[in-house]
Structure 1
Amino acid sequence: MHDRPAPTPTPRSALPVQARLIVAVGIASALHVGKLPPALPLLAQELGLTLVQGGFLLSMIQFAGMTLGALLGQLADRLGPRRVMMVGLVLLAAGSALGAVAPGAAALLGTRGLEGVGFLMTVLPAPALLRRTVTEPGPLNRALGWWGAYMPIGAATGLLVTPLAYATIGWRLTWAVLAVLAALCAAGVRVYVAPDGPRARDAQAWAALRHGLHTTLSAPGPWLVASAFLMYSGQWLAVVGFLPTLYTEAGWSPARVGWASALVAGVNLTGNIAAGRLLARGVAPRSLLWTGYGAMALGAVGTFTAGAGLAYASALVFSAVGGLIPGTLFALAVRLAPGPQTVSTTVGWVQQWSSLGQFVGPPLVAALAARVGGWQWTWTVNVACCAVGALLAAALHARLAQQVRAPRPGQEGA
């Protein structure tokens, strides 16, 4: 029998060290998302990237999630989330290191694809590891709220730090340093996160994998959460990813572009963290989602149509209040998973649709901007996404009410 270290006991207000490390690993992984937008002007000069090519490069890291999310999530459920996370970090390090020596745009797109696989294998197991480490519902909601903020924190840090690094040591050496950081994270997970249980036999594992995928994709909850995430993720990356380009075109200095873009991305964490706390206090997920989608719609209109000061304030509202959406949806993914053995699979399916949004969103917005000759009509994409998201929030509310009336086996006390 395999002895697994018990989660470290902590006071009610604190999270276990393992949980904090898992969130930190997610933040370090998201640096690989945030490192690219400030590099786009440099890559356009060095490699001749067009605006649309830059959009695909922004979204390329999500390609693996768009195609493999549910499958890799089920692998994490069956092979062990810690094992899969460590492999993902190694692949992420390899992709960043190879990107640092890429000779051209095509090779760079390939290395971003490898980073995408590593990124996905790193972040998908995290909610299951948090659920294993944090057992009480209140602290678990807070932990998942913090996990929902890993992307804005990491992306904002990348947007803030990499412009200075690019100006000092160049983008290639900066990406090599980030590869080393990913490798160090893998070592940290190996040392500090409790080991997984023994792996199942090959035949048994594959049969369980197929059953887990079927169970997850047959349930309505994962589809609703995934669709709601799709309506959020694509528009968020499209706005935040192109802010450095938008501000550079407006004549802002590189330093100002860096901190302004980083602040917009970073304030997203406030909504994520607030969502976890508000859910723990009993606020209805539908209310949080409606607030988030409404703020994103209004913020997008202001970002692309208002004067400079109001446009920047609108971008801050767009990101900060919009952060209520991922923080809420990560918690719903855990609650609406068909069973404990399909949490990573459900999160993988959500990530798959989130990645689809992030893959399609930036090129779609860039193509619209190129067609009309400016950014003034790109808000229409955001408003359409928010309208659909609001309808999905109502459907999720109905699904949660149905689950309360007829809880699934093993969740009667949840």
Structure 2
Amino acid sequence: MSMQARQVAVIVAAGATGGASVGKVPISLPVLSDAFGMSLFQASLTISFFLLAAMLVGTGGGMLADRFGQRRVMILGLVISALGGFIGAASTSAATLLASRALESIGFIATVLPGPALLTRLVAPRRLRPVMGLWACYMPFGMSLMLVLCPWLLESIGWRAIWVLIALLSLAVAGLVWRFVPPDATGGPPVRALALVRQTVTSARPWLLAASFGFYAGQWMSVFGFLPTLYAEEGVSTARAGLLTALGAGINVVGNFGAGLLLQRGWSRHGLLIFAALTMLVGAWLLFGSGAPFGVRFAAVLAFSAAGGLIPGTLFASTPAFAPNASTVSTTAGLMQQGSALGQFVTPPIIALVVSSAGSWSVTWMVTGAMAVANVLLALLIRRVARA
């Protein structure tokens, strides 16, 4: 394996470690509820805290990476994630556990935001698009791996040991980043931190990426958040439901990585975005609104996730071109993460309200479908801006 391939693998591994920190919680929620006497709502806050951190500090975190060095900030993020994991493992109260998750979320943001800028610095432009597609796999890979392993690990070693293992993994990957990723450049002219934010938020191009990411993430998180409930209504066992959910989440990497390869072969970014959005619309309808047999509905979930993965893959591959300049790549990625978090935070409650009012899951696809149509329109705007 070449040195550059090792560097790319280490950076993607850092992101996947963050994905594992997210994915360790959903399967552990019942255990956490029992351990700390929490309600399901209180336990679910361990997931929401990740979204709140991304919403609040996404652009600012990206600015810090651009200002103080992407490698340095990624290592710091991994160390903070590990510290949060150790504190969580030693928690004796729900308040301490939630505080540890808040700390982990800050570490997660600091870990993943420097990724696109580091890859842009290390990889030649002609090879960058497929590598960015590989980077986009970090979340579904890390999450799906934990969705598969957590049921077995919970029974064999318990949730506290899972927290410790992932914290140790974060420290190990931090060491690999320090060992293989070249140090940040020094000696250049000083960069004013607030100027990086101002350049990013006053440009329309990063906002288009952030909005598209938000509409995609809202759909994806809502569908996979409600899947266990749908499986339960179909009489699927908990263990099988976890495996099916992990398969659906994991297949997202096909679109993530495929986007980079297709862009490299000359496919247009707006074409990929439109195809993905329309496939997600049809997939959600088949899942929620068609009344089709279970096998057809599960196939729709796979298509929804695999094709949907083209969107983050395309958006990450577009980050260097849509950032105002080379100094704002991480800040632009931070704005994208804020858009993603906002979509994930807002959409599930909206769907829950609509479903409660209608008394049926069959209307869910109308909400996600409206977001898919919005992404089609955004893809057309992205095409226009790219040609300007």
| Class of the TM-score when normalised by the shorter of the 2 chains | over 0.9
Is the aligned partner of 1:151 residue 2:139?
A: yes
1:268 alignment counterpart: 252
* Deviation of the 1:276 alpha carbon: 0.3
Give the stretch that moved more between structures: 392-401 or 254-263. Answer: 254-263
Alpha-carbon offset, residue 158 of structure 1: 1.2
Residue 49 (structure 1) shift? 5.1
Kindly provide the amino acid, as one letter, of the partner of residue 171 in structure 1: W
Q: Which amino acid aligns with 2:265?
A: R
2:335 maps to 349
Residues 252 and 308, structure 2, Cα contact 8 Å, conserved in 1: yes
Whether the 8 Å contact between 1:55 and 1:363 is mirrored in structure 2 is no
Contact 1:35 1:158 in 2 (8 A): yes
1:276-315 matched pairs, under 5 angstroms: 276-305=260-289, 306=291, 307-315=293-301
Deviation of residue 67 (structure 1)?
0.9
Q: For residues 370 and 36 of structure 1, what CA distance do their matches in structure 2 show? A: 26
The answer for the alignment partner of 1:133 in structure 2 is: 122
Match of 2:372 among 386, 395, 405: 386
Instruction: Quote the Cα distance in structure 1 between the aligned partners of 2:170 and 2:2.
Output: 28
Report whether the alignment pairs 1:214 with 2:198. Answer: yes
Q: Judge conservation of contact 1:33–1:155 (CA < 8 Å) in 2.
A: yes
Give, in whole Å, the separation in 2 of the partners of 1:243 and 1:16.
36
Aligned residue for 1:283, secondary structure, equals coil
Task: From 319, 327, 339, give the equivalent of 2:325.
Answer: 339
Which residue matches 2:28?
39
**Alpha-carbon distance in structure 1 between the residues aligned to 2:101 and 2:385:** 37
SS of equivalent residue, structure 2 residue 363 = coil
Structure 2 CA distance, aligned partners of 1:245 and 1:110?
Answer: 28
Corresponding residue for residue 412 of structure 1: none
Paired position in structure 2 for 1:410: none
Shift of 1:196: 1.0
1:314-325 matched pairs, under 5 angstroms? 314-325=300-311
Identify which range, 123-132 or 241-250, moves more after superposition: 241-250
Name the SS of the counterpart of 1:16 in structure 2. helix
8 A contact 1:78–1:200 mirrored in 2? no
Indicate how the Cα distance of structure 1 residues 59 and 242 shifts in structure 2: closer, same or farther if over 3 A, else same: farther
CA deviations on 1:183-227 (whole Å, 9 max, x unpaired) are 1111111111111123789xx55xx11111111111110011111
- In 2 relative to 1, CA 27–378 (structure 1 residues): closer, same or farther, beyond 3 Å? same
Matches within 5 A, 1:3-402: 16-47=5-36, 52-53=41-42, 56-137=45-126, 139-198=127-186, 204-205=190-191, 208-248=192-232, 250-305=234-289, 306=291, 307-369=293-355, 375-402=361-388
After TM superposition, the structure 1 stretch with the greater mean CA deviation from structure 2, 56-65 or 287-296, is: 56-65
More helix by proportion, 1 or 2?
A: 2
Aligned pairs, number: 386
- Please give the per-residue CA displacement for 1:269-293, whole angstroms capped at 9, x wherever unaligned: 0011111011111111111001111
Given the two structures, how large is their TM-score scaled by the length of structure 2? Answer: 0.92
Contact 1:37/1:244 (CA < 8 Å) preserved in 2? no
Secondary structure of 1:354 counterpart: helix
Q: CA RMSD, aligned part only? A: 2.2
SS of corresponding position for 1:102: coil
> 1:176/1:368 Cα in 2 relative to 1: closer, same or farther (>3 Å)?
farther
Q: TM-score, normalised by structure 1?
A: 0.87
Greater displacement, 270-279 / 94-103: 94-103
Of 245-254 and 167-176, more deviation after overlay is shown by 245-254
Identify if the C-alpha distance between structure 1 residues 156 and 355 changes in structure 2 by more than 3 Å, giving closer, same or farther: same
The letter of the residue matching 2:325 is G
Distance 1:380 1:104 in 2: 41
Aligned counterparts of 2:208 and 2:121: Cα–Cα separation in 1: 24
SS in 2 for 1:194: coil
8 A Cα contact 1:61 1:114, kept in partner: no
Deviations 1:70-108 (A, max 9, x none): 111111111000000011001111222222233444443
Matched to 1:271, the amino acid is: G
Q: CA separation in 1, counterparts of 2:348 and 2:92?
A: 24
Q: Which amino acid aligns with 2:163?
A: W
Instruction: Please state how far the C-alpha of 1:119 moved relative to its aligned partner.
Output: 0.5
Identical aligned pairs, as a percentage? Answer: 42
Q: Secondary structure at the match of 1:163?
A: helix
The Cα shift of 1:377 comes to 2.9
5+ residue gaps, structure 2, are none
Residue identity matched to 2:342: L
Task: Describe the SS at the equivalent of 2:141.
Answer: helix
Residues 33 and 369 of structure 1: is their aligned pair in 2 closer, same or farther, counting only changes over 3 Å? farther
CA separation in 2, counterparts of 1:399 and 1:280?
20
